[in-house]
Amino acid sequence: MSFQEKLSSGEFVVLAEMDAPKGIDISDLITHAGHLKSRIDAVVVPDMDNGVMQMSALGCGALMKQQGIEPMIHIYGRDRNRMALQGDLLAAHVLGIHNLVVVQGEEMINGDHPDAKVVDDVDEEGLIKMVSKLTSGTDLAGFDLKGKPALSAGCTIAPVTNDAELDAEKEKAAKKVAAGAKFVILPPVFDIPFYTKMIESISSLNVPVIASVFLLKNVGMARYISINDPNSRLSEDIIRRIRKASDREAECVAIAGEMIKSLKQVSQGIKISALGWEDRLPAILDSAGL
């Protein structure tokens, strides 16, 4: 059963995020993907995540398809104009990539090519409308396509700190859903009660909501996130738990697994990010009972 079929039927879906390589050596990517085959519903491939130049998500998604794994790629307007985006979307269909996540590209200043020119020809809502337009058989200029691509796009919301910010993001998400978004992926949050509130709020838009969990690697990373990313709501209790563990890596995997178990009760799916430790993804799935 495909990702979209499971989503439409109300079944719980499991996504794993894997970055494209910065170069042409795809050996690690293929190895990690092989360990996930038949255990997940799709691999999510960011595109130039964090403003860092890497192999394109389109190419990486095609590689996942070759491995027998359903791909889902990020699309955004930061680096391409509307013509290039439409061309990539048509190519995606032909390459067997039918799942998309419309995201807001990160600022170039934080990446490895800070002098690159930003395009931003189309915003997130416009991108979702673009996907809907193409699947109806015409391009943005109104010209008929030779064959209709089968594409399905979801969207994301930005991290939030409080109820007011959540309401504002829900309003933005509602516009994206009205434009054609089929699901919403939430940012990772370590406070389960607050995350549950977020999920319940966005679920009122009547589309599947997918929660995100990322793997903490060590105490230093956890401490950095707790200080610099208040939206994560990463508590001192979690930091203390990792610090006191005899096997800190195993404890981090266990924390991710526990979060997935909790979020499975309130969401329709989970996206797991290992942040460079993709070889730990099978252990996270084991810990979560997936």
C-alpha of 139 from chain center: 26
Q: pLDDT per residue over 1-37, tens digit each? A: 899 999 999 999 999 999 999 999 999 999 999 999 9
Q: Is the pLDDT of residue 112 over 90?
A: no
Query: If you average pLDDT over every residue of the chain, what do you get?
Result: 95
CA dist 95 and 100 (Å) reads: 13
Residue % of the chain over a pLDDT of 90: 90
Q: pLDDT per residue over 174-205, tens digit each? A: 999 999 999 999 999 999 999 999 999 999 99
The answer to whether residue 211 sits within a structural domain is yes
Q: pLDDT per residue over 76-100, tens digit each? A: 999 999 999 999 999 999 999 999 9
The answer to whether residue 290 sits within a structural domain is no
Q: Is the pLDDT of residue 110 over 90?
A: no
Predicted local distance difference test score (pLDDT) of residue 51: 86
Which ranges of 138-247 does DSSP label H, i.e. alpha helix? 163-179, 192-203, 219-228, 236-244
Contacts of 122 (CB under 8 A, 6+ apart): 77, 81, 82, 85, 130
CATH number at residue 109: 3.20.20.220
Closest by Cα among 152, 128, 264, 268 to 203:
268
Q: In terms of residue numbers, what domain contains 240?
A: 3-284
Q: Is the pLDDT of residue 49 over 90?
A: no
The answer to whether residue 113 sits within a structural domain is yes
Domain count, the chain: 1
The answer to whether residue 111 sits within a structural domain is yes
Q: Do residues 209 and 182 lie in contact, with contact meaning Cβ atoms separated by under 8 Å?
A: no
Predicted local distance difference test score (pLDDT) of residue 108: 79
| Cα pseudo-dihedral 77, 271, 70, 111, rounded to 10 | 40
Q: Do residues 13 and 3 lie in contact, with contact meaning Cβ atoms separated by under 8 Å?
A: yes
Predicted local distance difference test score (pLDDT) of residue 106: 81
What DSSP assignment string belongs to 218-283?
SHHHHHHHHHH-GGG---HHHHHHHHH-SSHHHHHHHHHHHHHHHHHTTSSEEEEE-TT-GGGHHH
Q: Do residues 181 and 207 lie in contact, with contact meaning Cβ atoms separated by under 8 Å?
A: yes
User: What is the arithmetic mean of pLDDT over 133-142?
Assistant: 97
- Please identify which residue in the block is written with the tokens 């109300």: 10
